[in-house]
Every structure is written in structure tokens, then in C-alpha cells.
Copies of this chain bind each other. A is one copy, B any other.
Amino acid sequence: MTTVLSRTEVYALLALSLACFGVLINTFQGDGEPLIASVAFSGLAFSSCYALIRWLGDAFMRRGFKGKDMCKLKQTEIPETMGAVCAMVYLLVLVMFIPWPFYKDIVAATSGGGNRDVMKELEEVDTGRFLHRFPHSKLASYLSAIISLQSIVLLGIGDDLFDIRWRHKLFIPAISAIPMLIVYFVDFGVTQVVVPTPLRAYLGELVDLGWLYYIYMALLSIFSANSINILAGINGIEVAQSLVIAGLIVVNDAFYLVFTPYPHPATDSHLFSLYLLLPFIGVSLALLKHNWYPARVFVGDTYCYFAGMVFAVDGILGHFSKTLVLVLLPQGFNFVYSAPQLFHLVPCPRHRLPHFNARTGLLEPSRVDFKRPLARPIAESLKLLHRLRLLDVETDEAGVVVSSSNFTIINLWLVWFGPMREDRLALGLLGFQAAVGGLGLFIRHRMALLIFTQDNL
């Protein structure tokens, strides 16, 4: 990869940056619309991330952050861990953005001298604030989100540096979630959940989960971050799947902002969600441009953790964690499908990425050979999966299972549709993911009334 930006790239990035900068300056006049500022910041995030990935590639390689692309004919080394660059740009943008949603509210609610005029603030609650302005108390949540994301970047870089063991990796998102959970505890502390209608006879309308709610939030972080980390291995898939997820959540947020009468308790939460997601989309697009087939950089575990944590933070602080789980269904399926190998019920090779056939230039499902015969129930289960077309199992004449395709959704796709080029494989998976996620959102809003007394849309 050349570290120099071409003339066209320089002009395009400069034009974009100037336009975004102009928009930002304009937000100072009038009410200073934070949502517009957020879009402008996302544009700036895109262009600076784009340029930095190019400028820093060589330095990363010199310091040992590099890897070989196993699915190519010519396996040249390319920079690794470039997700760290994205994450740094993203965090800086989140910080710079703070005055837009939080400043004006303070000025409006202050009688001067830096003391918050509390009575005035109460009055504002009655008369309604400007759309897109946050009450000051949201600042602590926002800052705690930044701390959690910074933590996962630090730990993710540690993982990329030191190759932490699998069983330790699992806890990286849990540790990073601590700042968010502690501020949630101190700041908000609501751990009651609405009970679905069929269960109300037994549990009442609300049930207080207490500390179980914190466990739930920590588990959600672990799931979100790791599920992206294991649906990985072919060019562009990590970033592109994150962009699909982010896109689906943005659509969901937009529904709330457009169709909900203002003021509504959900508006603030979904604005909060957008403010976190738009810059994420900016930096991810810049990374995808360099990571899409044929990849010129790798993203590293850092990016996967970071992206997963952005979603977890977004879902938890935006109070739509159940919707988040719906959007993550394909990742969830991949996790469940991978479980037999992850937990060593079935042998797990070091790499499970598809096999590159150098003659055809296409990817084929990679396989695991069973040197020792499998236990009877496991072998029978594999045969059943084969009949259900959920696995490709090979048996010898005696009917003994001798090999199978590896247990990832990526290999399964190749089992279903045959060998294909790397980018077509990625596109197929992304289309599938978008369809499942979109369906999930549709069902969530159409079916909510079946199990709850009201949809909060």
C-alpha cells in the first residue's frame, strides 16, 4: 500500500473536510443543531481516519503490526491493527462533540456565575427543551460511554500486542463495561424491567432485577464484542458487518425521532444513540475502503472489540438492548453454530477461515479431519446437521464420520452456494445479515403488542 494519498484523494478529502467544517461553523448561529453537527463531525472523522490509515501503515508494519492474507495467490504482508487508528479518531471526535449537545442547555438554565439555577431547570422540563438538547445529567452517561470505549481500545491493543489467551479475551469487554455500569449505578440505577403480558399474573407489571441487571448488561457487552470477533477472517467482513448493524440501529433510531410525538422519553435516548453511531459509521467507512477485497490493511481484534462495544454501549445507554439483540441475530447464530468447536466438543483447527484454491482463485469451505473417531452421539448429530444442510460431513464406507466443514457461518455459506470469490462471499453474508436484521426490526415493532401492552415507538 502506498502511504501517499493521490492528488484526487487529497482534493476529495479536503473538500469534504472543508464542507463539514463549514457546517460546523454554521451550527454556532441559531440554536446550533447538534444532530447536524454530529453529521459534520462524522464527515471529518471519515476524512482524517482515511488519511491516517494511509500515513501510518508503514509505521505499523515496522513495529510488527503486520500479517499475511491467507486467501490470496500472492501473500504479501500488509499492516494489521489499523482499527486502533479508527478508534482513536472516533474517541477524539466524541470528545470534541461534547459542547454541542450539552453546552446550550447549561447557558439556558444558568442564572450566571456558573451556578446552575436549579429552579429554572425544573421549569424547562415543563415547558420542554429544544429538540436535541440534553439535560446536563446525561453528560455523565456520555462520558462513561467514552471511558468504556477507551478501555476496550486499550485492552484490544493489549490483545493485538500480546495475543492474550482465549479464555482471558472473553473478559476484555466485561472489564471495559465496568465504567459504564458503575456510572449507570451511581447516576441512574433503574434496574426494573417491564414484564411481558403473559407473565404479569405471576410477576407483576415491573420486576426489579437488581444486580442481575448489571450481570445482564455485562453479558450483553461480552456477547456483542466477541460475536463480531468470531464472525471474521475474510476481507472486509468485520467492518462491513459492523456497518450493517450500525445502519440498522440508525434506521431504528430515525423511526423514533420521526414518528414519535415530541417530547417523548425515548427521543433523548435515540438521539444519544445517533450521536455515538454516526461518527462510528464515518471512521468505519474509511477503514472499509482500505479493508475491502483485496485488502490493503487488516483491522485487528481491536476493531472487532471496539465495534462490538460501541453497539453494547449504544444499546444499554440508549435503552434498547433487546432491539440490539435482534439486530445481532446473525452473529448470535454464528456463535451458537461455532460453539461445538469453541468448546472443543469437536476438534478445532487453529484457523477456520475458508480454504483458498489457488487454481480457481475461489474460496472453498475449509474442513476439519477427525483423526480419531468421534463419540457416537456427536457423530450422529453431525450426520443430522448434514441432512439438514447445515454442515458438510464426509463419511467412509463404514459410515464413520471422517471430516466435516468448519463450524462457521462463512463456511456454511460456501457449503450452500459453492465456491466463490472472496468479495462475493462477503457480499452474500452481508445481504443475509441485512435481511435478517431488517426482518428482526420489523417483527419487533409489529409484534411488540402481542407480548407487551404497548410498543414504545
Chain A contacts to B: CB under 8 angstroms: 59, 63-64, 88, 91-92, 95-96, 98-99, 102-103, 106, 114, 116, 118-119, 121-122, 136-137, 139-140, 143-144, 146-147, 150-151, 153-154, 157, 161-162, 175, 178-179, 182-183, 185-190
A95 cross-chain contacts in B, Cβ below 8 A: 147, 178-179, 182
Using A95-B179, A143-B143 as known contacts, list a sample of 7 further A-B pairs with CB atoms less than 8 Å apart, ordered by residue number in A: A59-B162, A63-B162, A96-B178, A98-B182, A98-B183, A102-B186, A153-B154
Complex Cα distance, B150 from A88, in Å, reads 11
A146 cross-chain contacts in B, Cβ below 8 A: 147, 179
A64 cross-chain contacts in B, Cβ below 8 A: 63-64
B186 adjacent to A154 (CB under 8 Å): no
Complex Cα distance, B134 from A186, in Å, reads 12
Q: A64-B64, A118-B121 are in contact. Are A186 and B150 (CB under 8 A)?
A: no
Complex Cα distance, B99 from A103, in Å, reads 26
A150 adjacent to B139 (CB under 8 Å): no
Question: In the complex, which residue of chain B has the Cβ closest to the Cβ of A101?
Answer: B186
Contact partner, A189, options B98, B114, B179, Cβ 8 Å: B114
Complex Cα distance, B106 from A219, in Å, reads 27
A144 cross-chain contacts in B, Cβ below 8 A: 143
What's the least CB distance linking A211 to chain B, in Å?
13
Complex Cα distance, B178 from A91, in Å, reads 11
A106 cross-chain contacts in B, Cβ below 8 A: 186-187, 189
What's the least CB distance linking A365 to chain B, in Å?
34
Complex Cα distance, B122 from A95, in Å, reads 30
Complex Cα distance, B59 from A122, in Å, reads 55
Q: A88-B154, A139-B140, A154-B154 are in contact. Are A96 and B59 (CB under 8 A)?
A: no
Complex Cα distance, B143 from A139, in Å, reads 10
Q: A147-B143, A150-B154, A153-B154 are in contact. Are A186 and B118 (CB under 8 A)?
A: no
Which of A95, A106, A190 has most chain B Cβ within 10 Å?
A: A95
A178 cross-chain contacts in B, Cβ below 8 A: 92, 95-96
Complex Cα distance, B63 from A63, in Å, reads 10
Complex Cα distance, B103 from A415, in Å, reads 55
Complex Cα distance, B11 from A157, in Å, reads 32
Complex Cα distance, B402 from A331, in Å, reads 70
Question: In the complex, which residue of chain B has the Cβ closest to the Cβ of A62?
Answer: B162
Complex Cα distance, B153 from A91, in Å, reads 14
A92 cross-chain contacts in B, Cβ below 8 A: 175, 178
A190 cross-chain contacts in B, Cβ below 8 A: 114
What's the least CB distance linking A125 to chain B, in Å?
10
Q: A154-B153, A157-B157 are in contact. Are A143 and B175 (CB under 8 A)?
A: no
Complex Cα distance, B183 from A140, in Å, reads 10
What's the least CB distance linking A91 to chain B, in Å?
8
A-B contact pairs, 9 of them (CB 8 A): A95-B178, A95-B182, A98-B182, A102-B186, A118-B122, A136-B137, A136-B187, A143-B143, A157-B157
A143 cross-chain contacts in B, Cβ below 8 A: 140, 143-144, 147, 183
Complex Cα distance, B157 from A153, in Å, reads 12
Complex Cα distance, B179 from A147, in Å, reads 11
Complex Cα distance, B186 from A116, in Å, reads 12
Complex Cα distance, B187 from A139, in Å, reads 9
A103 cross-chain contacts in B, Cβ below 8 A: 185-186
What's the least CB distance linking A134 to chain B, in Å?
11
Complex Cα distance, B94 from A151, in Å, reads 13
What's the least CB distance linking A150 to chain B, in Å?
4
A96 cross-chain contacts in B, Cβ below 8 A: 178, 182
A116 adjacent to B137 (CB under 8 Å): yes
A185 cross-chain contacts in B, Cβ below 8 A: 99, 103
Question: In the complex, which residue of chain B has the Cβ closest to the Cβ of A189?
Answer: B114
